[in-house]
Amino acid sequence: MLPTDPPALICQTEQPLRLMRLEIQDGLAIGDHLNLADYRLLVYVRVPPTWLEGEDLVPSAKEAVLARMYGPNWRSGNQDGSFYVVLRCSCRAMSPSEEAAGGWRQTPHSWYYRVNSAGELEKEF
């Protein structure tokens, strides 16, 4: 669990997890130049209800996902002076039929996580 996450992001093991899909458009900035990625990242994450606000992740949960992707201090930049820039991060809940179909498991440029009982993001497979 990240130190900046509120206690609400703790996961109880008996809570059902919801599969969420985040689509991220990002780039790497070096000095005044931004190198945009030529693809979008897709992040599939199973989260407990405490990480949700309606059909979206609460802001601190989105931040936890981004910190897992880019590193815990990603907003401070890298040692070489470069830093990641997230231009867009959209989120939606996957329907039970989409999840059951399983095609999302083979999506290029994708990452797969789940929230464990300690409230931490771990690789799903």
Any bridge partners for residue 37, and if so which? none
The residue segments making up the domain with residue 86 are 15-123
E-assigned strands of 33-120? Answer: 33-36, 41-47, 52-53, 56-57, 83-93, 110-115
Total domains in the fold of the chain:
1
Q: What is the pLDDT of residues 84-117, one digit of tens each?
A: 999 999 999 999 999 999 888 888 889 999 999 8
How do residues 33-72 score in pLDDT, each as one tens digit?
A: 999 999 999 999 999 999 999 989 999 999 999 999 999 9
Asked, for residue 1, whether it belongs to a domain, the answer is: no
10 belongs to a structural domain: no
Task: Give domain status of residue 2, yes or no.
Answer: no
